[in-house]
C-alpha cells in the first residue's frame, strides 16, 4: 500500500457520532493507511464511538474528559502501552454553555467563561503536554477552529473568544515543540451540522448564508475537512507549523454579501 499515512499512528479526540468532524478526519486517515485510536467523553458516547472505531479497525482508549487531567493521562498511558509512540493527534473538542450562545457576549458569566476556555482552548495545551512525550520521532497535532475567532459572528459569543485564544495557542505550541519536529496547526472549518453546532442559535440561517455567499456557493462536509487534515497530518506539510488553514468554501475571503444571493 502507498497511503499518505502509511506507518503512522494517531489519537483522535472528539468523535461523538458519525457526523463529527473528528470522524471525517478519522476516516480520511484510515483510508490513507493510518492506524487510529479514539477516545469518548462519557458512557453515553461510548456506545457510539466503539462501533465507529471498529469500523476503522481502530483502538478505543477509553473515557477522556478534558476537565479531568487524570482521564487525559489515562488515555495517553493506554496508547503508550499499546503503541509506545505516536505520530499524530487530532483535537476536535469544544464546549460552551448553550444558554450563553444566545444573547450578548457582554453578559458572559465568569463560570462559563472559565469552563469554555478550559475545554475549548486549554485542553489543546493539556493534550500537547502528553503527546510531546510520545512523539519521539516528531509528530503533527491539529485542532479545529472557526472564523468566529477572527470576526464577530452572531451567537458565537464566548466561543469566538475561546477560538481566538486557541489559534494563539497553536502559534505558541508550534514554537515550543518545533525543536522536536512536532508541528501544530489548525483547520478553520466552515459551518457543518454536528452535535456541537446544534447548540448555536439560528444555525440553519448560518449554513444558508455560507451557501449563498461563499465563493464555492456551498458549505463543506466532514469528508472535505478530513481530506484537508491529511495534508497537516502527513509529511506533505513537513515544512508547515503554526498555521490556521481555512476549509470553508472560501468564505473567509468574502468582504460583502453576494448581491445575487436570494433572501434567507
> Parallel, antiparallel, or unpaired: how do β-strands 139-145 and 88-91 relate?
parallel
What is the Cα–Cα distance from 30 to 59, expressed in whole angstroms? 12
* Residue 11 contacts ligand NAD per CB under 6 A: no
Measured between alpha carbons, how far is residue 10 from residues 60, 61, 179 in Å? 12, 11, 20
Active site residue 172: no
Taking the least distance from each CB to ligand NAD, the nearer of 60 and 64 is 64
Cell of 221: 462536509
Residue 209 binding ligand NAD, by CB under 6 A: no
129 dihedral zone (left: phi>0; alpha: psi -120 to 50; beta) = alpha
Annotated active-site residue 147? The verdict is no
What strands lie across the sheet with 139-145, from one edge to the other?
59-63, 35-40, 9-13, 88-91, 139-145, 182-189, 244-247
Provide, rounded to whole angstroms, the least separation between the CB of residue 220 and ligand NAD: 9
Place of cell 451540522: 193
Q: Does 226 bind ligand NAD (CB under 6 A)?
A: no
Site for ligand NAD in 63-92 (CB under 6 A): 64-67, 92
SS3 183: strand
Least distance (Å) between residue 175 CB and ligand NAD: 22
Which residue, 3 or 73, is less far from ligand NAD as judged by CB?
73
Q: Is 14 annotated as a binding residue?
A: yes
Q: Which of 40, 147, 156, 251 is labelled catalytic?
A: 156
Instruction: Give yes or no for residue 199 binding ligand NAD (CB under 6 A).
Output: no
Nearest distance, CB of residue 219 and ligand NAD, angstroms: 9
**Is the Cβ of residue 177 or residue 196 nearer to ligand NAD in the bound state?**
196
Q: Is 191 in the site for ligand NAD (CB under 6 A)?
A: yes
CA distances from 145 to 42, 142, 163, 244, 256 (A): 23, 10, 6, 8, 22
Catalytic residue, candidates 40, 146, 147, 251: 146
Residues known to be catalytic? 146, 156
Amino acid at each position: 500500500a502507498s497511503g499518505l499515512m502509511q506507518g503512522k499512528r494517531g489519537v483522535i479526540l472528539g468523535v461523538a457520532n458519525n457526523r463529527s468532524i473528528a470522524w471525517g478526519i478519522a476516516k480520511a486517515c484510515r483510508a490513507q493507511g493510518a492506524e487510529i485510536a479514539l477516545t469518548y467523553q462519557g458512557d453515553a458516547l461510548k456506545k457510539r464511538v466503539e462501533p465507529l472505531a471498529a469500523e476503522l479497525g481502530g483502538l478505543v482508549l477509553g473515557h477522556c474528559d478534558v476537565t479531568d487531567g487524570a482521564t487525559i493521562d489515562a488515555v495517553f498511558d493506554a496508547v503508550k502501552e499499546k503503541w509506545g509512540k505516536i505520530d499524530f493527534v487530532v483535537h476536535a473538542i469544544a464546549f460552551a454553555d448553550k444558554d450563553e450562545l444566545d444573547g450578548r457576549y457582554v453578559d458572559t458569566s465568569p463560570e462559563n467563561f472559565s469552563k469554555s476556555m478550559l475545554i475549548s482552548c486549554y485542553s489543546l495545551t493539556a493534550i500537547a503536554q502528553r503527546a510531546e512525550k510520545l512523539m519521539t520521532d516528531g509528530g503533527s497535532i491539529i485542532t479545529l477552529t472557526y472564523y468566529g475567532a477572527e470576526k464577530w459572528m452572531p451567537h458565537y459569543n464566548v466561543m469566538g473568544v475561546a477560538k481566538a485564544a486557541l489559534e494563539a495557542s497553536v502559534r505558541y505550541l508550534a514554537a515550543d515543540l518545533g525543536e522536536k519536529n512536532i508541528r501544530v496547526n489548525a483547520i478553520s472549518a466552515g459551518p457543518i451540522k454536528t452535535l456541537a453546532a446544534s447548540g448555536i442559535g439560528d444555525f440553519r440561517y448560518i449554513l444558508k448564508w455560507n451557501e449563498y455567499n461563499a465563493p464555492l456557493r456551498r458549505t463543506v462536509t466532514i469528508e472535505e475537512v478530513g481530506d484537508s487534515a491529511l495534508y497537516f497530518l502527513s509529511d506533505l506539510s513537513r515544512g508547515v507549523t503554526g498555521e490556521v488553514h481555512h476549509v470553508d468554501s472560501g468564505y473567509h475571503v468574502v468582504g460583502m454579501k453576494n448581491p445575487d444571493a436570494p433572501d434567507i
